[in-house]
Structure 1
Amino acid sequence: MTLADRPNTALVVIDLQNQVVANAYRRHEVLGAVNMLIERARNAGVPVVWVRHADEELKAGSEAWQIVAELAPAPGEAIVEKSYRDAFEGTDLESVLSSLRAGKLLVAGAQTDMCVRSTMHGALVRGYDAILVSDAHTTDDSDFVFLGA
C-alpha cells in the first residue's frame, strides 16, 4: 500500500560510485541496465534520486567517491549524501521523496547485500512500496569465509 498522498514513483540509484563498483559482479551489464532505467524514468517524468556514500574509507570529494563516468545525474536531480548503509538514516532522503510525493520506489545500485538491502528495508518499514529492479543491482565477491558447524 502506497503512503497517503504519495501517488508518484521515484527511481532511487544507490552508491554507483567508482570504488563501490570497481570490482562489481557483472559491472558493465548492471550499469547498462541502470542507464536504461534512468533514461526511461526521465522520459516518463519519473524523478531520479541519487544516493552517494561517504565514510572514513570512501572520502567525500575523492575520485573513488564520484559517481561512475557511465552515469551522470542531470541538473536538478537530488543527490542524497549518506554515511550509513540505510539511505534513510541520518539523511534528507525522506524529505526529498516527500517533496516529490513519491510513495513507490524503484531501486537500483550497489552493494546488494549491504546498502541496497538496508535501504530497501528502511523503505519498507517506513511504508513505501519498494521494488528492487532485478538486473540493476550488484555487489562484490566477499572475502569472508563462513565456517559451518
Structure 2
Amino acid sequence: MVVLPFSCGVCCRHGQIRRPATAPVSTGVEQNRIRLAARAAFRPPAVPARLPPPAAPHKSVLETPPAWLHHRPMPSAKYNAACVKQRRIDRLHRCEPARTALLVVDMQHGFLDAGASLAVPKGRDIIPAIRRLIACCRAVGAPVVFTQFVYSTAVPCLRGDPFGLEHLPAPDGQPTGFGRPSGNCLVGPEAGRGAESADLVPELAPLPGELIVASHCYDKFLDTPLDLALRSRGITHLIVTGVTTDICVNCTVLAAANRNYRVTVATDGVATLDDTIQASCLSIWERKFARLRTVGQLVTELKGEDAGGS
C-alpha cells in the first residue's frame, strides 16, 4: 500500500481533530467521507449579529452628546473619548459678545413670501426665533450682519441659467413661477417686485449702520467684503441663521469653517423645503464644521446666564 501525507488545515488549526502523520490512500468515496467528517467537526466561533450598544458616558463627560454619536456602534471607551472631544468643541465655540457676530442669511421676500417662485414656507416660521436672537445680539453689543442674494443680467452666472431659471427676467405676458423665468431676487432695471423682490423682509429690517452683504453666489464670503468686515472687528465666532439650509446657509457655514471661524448654527433659526435634507445638513455640520444650538440656548449663552458654558 502506498502512503501519502494527509492533513486538514482548517481542522488542525482549530484543534478539532488530531492530525495523523500519514494516511492511506483509499477510494474516492472514503476520501469524501473524511472531508465531510472534517467539515462537520469544525464549528466557527459565533459572531454577534450586531455590536452591543455603547455604554452611556458619565454625566460629567457630556450632558447632551451630539446625535451623530448615537448612530455609530463603538466601544464605550471610544464613545466616551468622542464625548470628551465634543465637550472641547463646545467650550471653544462658546459665543461671547465681544468676539461673536450674528449672520442672517437671505431672509428676503423672494424666498419667504407666499407666491414667490422660490418660496420656502418654513422660512417664515423661523422669523420669530431670528428676531429674538437679533434683539439679544443688539442688546449685548454683538454685531448683526445680513446677507442678500441678488441676481443680475450683468453677471449671468450659473446661479441663473441653468440652476435658477426663476432668477431670470420674466418675459412680458408669459406665465411665471417655479421653473420659469420670474425675476426672483433680480436687481437692476428689470428687478423683481413684490413677492419676487430681493429686499429683506421688514420683520428683520437692519438698523442704520448694520452691514448688508449683497452676493451673487451661495457662499456669502466669495467676492464680498464679509470676511474683511468681520476680521476688522476682531470677530472669531459666528452664529448662522437663515435660508435655505442646504444651499446658501450650507455654503456659507462651510466657507466660514474653512476660514477658521468658530461656527454655531441656530438649529431653529434655519429652514429649507425638506425635513430630511434639514436633518442631513445639521448632522454633517455637527461632525466637522459647526456646533449646533437652539436660539434659546444661544440667548442664554450670550447673556452669560449659562454658568460659563460648563
TM category, shorter:
0.7 to 0.9
- Do structure 1's residue 45 and structure 2's residue 133 form an aligned pair? no
Structure 2 residues not aligned, in runs of 5+: 1-91, 114-118, 153-166, 168-184, 275-310
TM-score (norm 1): 0.85
- Do structure 1's residue 83 and structure 2's residue 216 form an aligned pair? yes
Q: Sequence identity of aligned pairs in percent?
A: 32
Match runs of 1:1-149 below 5 Å: 8-22=99-113, 23-56=119-152, 57=167, 58-60=185-187, 62-63=192-193, 64-141=197-274
Aligned counterparts of 2:124 and 2:146: Cα–Cα separation in 1: 19
Quote the residue 2:296 is aligned against.
none
Could you say what secondary structure the match of 1:91 adopts?
coil
Aligned residues: 138
TM-score (norm 2): 0.42
Per the TM alignment, residue 14 of structure 1 is displaced from its structure 2 partner at its CA by 0.5
Aligned counterparts of 1:19 and 1:106: Cα–Cα separation in 2: 23
Kindly provide the CA deviation profile for residues 15-64 of structure 1, in whole angstroms up to 9, marking residues without a partner as x. Answer: 00001123324333300100000000000100001111101412136441
Structure 1 residues not aligned, in runs of 5+: 142-149
Structure (1 or 2) with the greater helix fraction: 2
Given that residues 21 and 139 in structure 1 are in contact (C-alpha distance below 8 angstroms), is that contact kept between their aligned partners in structure 2? no
* Structure of higher RCO (CA pairs closer than 8 Å, 6+ residues apart): 1
Given that residues 21 and 140 in structure 1 are in contact (C-alpha distance below 8 angstroms), is that contact kept between their aligned partners in structure 2? no
Greater Rg by CA: 2
Given that residues 112 and 139 in structure 1 are in contact (C-alpha distance below 8 angstroms), is that contact kept between their aligned partners in structure 2? yes
Structure (1 or 2) with the greater strand fraction: 1
Moved over 3 A (4+): none
Q: Which amino acid counterpart does residue 52 of structure 1 have in structure 2?
A: Q
Backbone CA RMSD of aligned residues: 1.9
Q: Which amino acid counterpart does residue 228 of structure 2 have in structure 1?
A: S
Could you say what secondary structure the match of 1:118 adopts?
helix
Per the TM alignment, residue 70 of structure 1 is displaced from its structure 2 partner at its CA by 1.2
Aligned counterparts of 2:192 and 2:201: Cα–Cα separation in 1: 12
Aligned counterparts of 1:129 and 1:62: Cα–Cα separation in 2: 35
